[in-house]
Amino acid sequence: MIQICLNCLLLSALLLLISIGLNIIYGISRVVNLAHGSLYALGAYFGYSMVSYGVNFYAALLLAPLLAGLCGVVLERLIIEPIRHRDMTYTLILTYGLSVFIDGMFKFIWSDKVQFIQMPSSLRGTLNLFGVHYPNYRLFVLAATVCVILGLLALLEKTKLGMIMRAASTIPEMVSALGVNMKLVHMGVFGLGCVLAGIGGVIAGPLLSVYPMMGSEMLLSCFVVLVIGGLGSLRGAILASLLVGTAQTLGFVFLTDFAMVIVYLMMAVILLFMPKGLLAEGKFD
């Protein structure tokens, strides 16, 4: 029973970690970044390369996401910024193309092989939790996710930067009328989103393996979480991740592939009847 709960939590945590960046990029900049999955994969590949060249796992967990974030910033500048004032369709098409391009580059650089990021030996083995042996690494994933989310909340709620981001998510024009360069905000937010995706990638690497299509496969689940939780709602995202993670974990065991049908159905119902997500906090313009 404890184990099942932990299993549900773990998948939820992964979903949350990977989708949260997508969420804040949409929430603050209103950009639906279809390349988000690829940036998640990019983080995983950076992490993989670092660890296989002997970099400490924890150092890689810090560095690889930063590198992914840097790539994100560059991409934002080169590709998204120039078309920001256009219709959303442009960004959709462009970021989709971008994801295909990035996924293709993985094959060139890292080949098509399925790889694992070697987990640090300190996180191997299991921990006895109330009589249940649970892998240390999974517990680490849970803890890391909680830390990342708490850190993100602290950033958003407690700092001036966070205040600007929250304000920008509502009335961006007024933020610039208060002397803030919104271009920098958009760039920073995109970078932050990519850093978060990268963290997800490195953390998932030892568990889910690393391969070129990993991001595109994950993107769908991320969108499900995004829609169910309400586009741009952090609290909604947490709730939705728990819901989808639990539904998938239990569903996959009892219903196999039908589990996804249930999740999509849930998404459809929410889209139809509560387009702002479970907590009605979503930002639809």
Partner 1 sequence: MATKLLELEDVHTYYGDSHVIQGLSIYVNKGEAVSILGRNGVGKTTTLRTIAGLTPLRRGTVRIGGKDTGHWPTHRIVKETHVAYVPAERNVFPGLSVKENLKIGEQPPMNGSSGSRWTLDMVYEYFPILKERHLQDGSTLSGGEQQMLVIGRALMGNPEIMLLDEPSQGLAPIVVAKVAEIVKQLCALHGLTLVVVEQNFRVSYKLAQRHYLMDLKGQIKRSLTNEEWAANEDIVKKHLSIDDGCVEKKDSECRQVPAPSEAPSGAAPGGPGAVSK
Partner 2 sequence: MRKGLAVCISVLLVLTMMPLRPAVAADPIKIGVVVTLTGMAAQLGIDNRNGILLAAKHKGTILGRPIQIITEDDEGQSETGIRKAEKLVFKDKVVALSGVTVANVGQAIAGEADRLNVPFLTTNVMTPKFYGLHPLVFRCGQVADDQMTVAQVMGILKDPDLMKRSWYVLADDYAWGHSCAEEFIKLATEKGIKIKNPTYDNAALNLVDWSPFVSKIISAEVGGVYACLRSPVAPRFVQQAADFGLMEKVKIIGGTPSEAALEAAGESVVGLIGTCCWTWDIDTPKSKAFAEAYWKEFKEVPPSQGAQAYTGAFVLFNAIEKAGGTDPKKIAEALKGATFEGPYGEVRISPKDNCMRTPVKVVVAERAPKNPFGAKIIKKVVASLTPEEVGPAE
- Chain-centre distance for alpha carbon 177: 31
Tokens of 237: 């995202």
Alpha-carbon dihedral 65, 200, 59, 27, rounded to 10 degrees: 40
Site membership for partner 1, residue 127 (CB under 8 A)? no
Q: Where are the alpha helices (DSSP H) in 53-171?
A: 57-75, 88-110, 136-158, 160-168
Cβ proximity to partner 1, 78 vs 174, nearer residue: 174
Is 253 among the residues that bind partner 2 (CB under 8 A)? Answer: yes
> Which stretch, 81-89, 166-174, 191-199, 205-213, contacts partner 2 (CB under 8 A)?
205-213
Q: Could you say whether residue 160 binds partner 1 (CB under 8 A)? A: yes
Which listed range, 170-178, 208-216, 223-231, 276-284, lies at the site for partner 2 (CB under 8 A)?
208-216
Q: Which position among 105, 144, 161, 167 is part of the footprint of partner 2 (CB under 8 A)?
A: 105
Identify what 133 binds: partner 1, partner 2, none; CB under 5 to 8 Å per kind.
partner 2
CA distance 228 to 226: 6
Q: Which of residues 158-187 bind partner 2 (CB under 8 A)?
A: none
Size of the site for partner 1 (CB under 8 A): 18
The CA-CA-CA angle for residues 111, 64, 207, to 5°, reads 65
Alpha helices in the chain (DSSP H): 2-29, 36-52, 57-75, 88-110, 136-158, 160-168, 172-176, 182-208, 214-229, 234-254, 258-273
Tokens 């803890």: give the residue.
Answer: 143
The footprint of partner 2 on this chain (CB under 8 A) covers a number of residues equal to 47
- Other Cβ atoms less than 10 A from the Cβ of 91: the count is 21
At its nearest, how many Å lie between partner 1 and the CB of residue 276?
14
Minimum CB distance to partner 2, residue 132 (Å): 9
The one of partner 1, partner 2, none whose footprint includes residue 177, by CB under 5 to 8 A per kind, is: partner 1
Closest approach of partner 1 to the CB of residue 182, in Å: 7
Residue 113 Cβ vs partner 2, minimum distance, rounded to whole Å? 5
- Smallest distance, Å, CB 274 to partner 1? 19
Choose the contact partner of 172 out of partner 1, partner 2, none; CB within 5 to 8 A by kind.
none
CA dist 80 and 71 (Å) reads: 13
